[in-house]
Every structure is written in structure tokens, then in C-alpha cells.
Amino acid sequence: MIIYFVRHGETEWNKKKIVQGHKDSPLTIKGTSSAERLGKLLRGKKIEIIYSSDLGRCVQTAEIINRCLKVKIIKTKKLRERNFGDLNGRPNKEVKKILDLNNPDKKAPNGESFNEQKERVVLFIKKLFSEKFKKILLVIHDGTARAILSEHYNANFNSKKCGTYSNKIYKIIK
């Protein structure tokens, strides 16, 4: 099985440096263009299904990519970004003053820690291995991708190996 994954395109709140978490912001023109480019790059990969976070920015990205792929999209809460609770929708600077983002066990009030997010995401990925599909695309968030890469490389989620970009295709072979 091959799991490809991409991070959603740039959003208005990404540009404004606002933590989205479980809140949403639409894609920018740059984000839409990036998704279109990814769709063209993924066209020849013979992807059979797309699993997307159910948050709007990922759904929007998945739908743009799917113009090229023309496969079923399944939206799931399991692939959501980390829930920053009371800090969802607040400026990055403010969040960094309140929450130690380098500690994977720290969580915002009414939110989840990185490790809780990672557990949710890894459990979902493990279930995918029992699917009949050979090539899957995930449309996800930075934190979700970091959780996958952290598990795959057995590395700290803040390590260079776990950094993500909106215009790159990642691949895990199992």
C-alpha cells in the first residue's frame, strides 16, 4: 500500500498568522493554485480514494485536487488538525505566550495535546492498512502530517524531518 499525503493549500488565516485548529478559513489564490498544481502532479499516481479532514480548508483542497483524479472523497474528523480549544482562531503570537508548543503533552484549555492528536491520527492510519485500496491520498493539516511523519521516522514532531509544506507530496509505503 502507498499512502500519499498533502497539506491543505494556504489559507487567509495562514497569511495572517492565526492558529486555525478546528476553526476554518478559506484558501487564498495561492492556496487554490497550489491545490491545482498538486492535482496535476498526482494525476498519474493511480490514486483510488481520497481521505480528507472534514475541515473546510482540507475539503476545498481535496475537491480541487479531485478535479484531476475523479475518485471518491471521504471526509473524516480523525484527520483534523490539533484542537487548540479556547485558542482556536487566535493569533500565533498570543498562542505561543499561553501554550508551550514544543511540549507534545501540553494542551490549551478545552483542547488536545499534540500526543493526543498523534494517537488519533496514527490509529486512523493503521486502520487504512486493512483497506482494499493500494493507493490512497490524504488531504490533511500541518499537525496531522507532523503526527504521521513523527510516527514514521520515530522522530520529535518539531524535528526537521517532520516539517511540512503546502505544495509538496509526501509518500509512505507499507
Which residues are annotated binding-site positions for substrate? 7-14, 57
Structural Rg of the chain based on CA atoms: 15
> CA 22: distance to chain centroid?
12
Q: Of these residues, 8, 112, 141, 151, which one is catalytic?
A: 8
DSSP string, 37-51: HHHHHHGGG---EEE
Q: In which residue are the cell numbers 516539517 written?
A: 163
Residue 95 Cα distances to 30, 49, 98, 136, 150, angstroms = 25, 35, 5, 34, 22
Note if 63 is an active site residue. no
* Residues in the annotated binding site: 7-14, 57
Note if 141 is an active site residue. no
The β-bridge partners of 11 are: 27
Q: Of these residues, 36, 48, 63, 81, which one is catalytic?
A: 81
Q: In which residue are the cell numbers 517532520 written?
A: 162
Cα 135 to Cα 171: distance, rounded to the nearest angstrom = 10
In this structure, the strands spanning 135-140 and 49-53 are: parallel
Active site residues: 8, 81
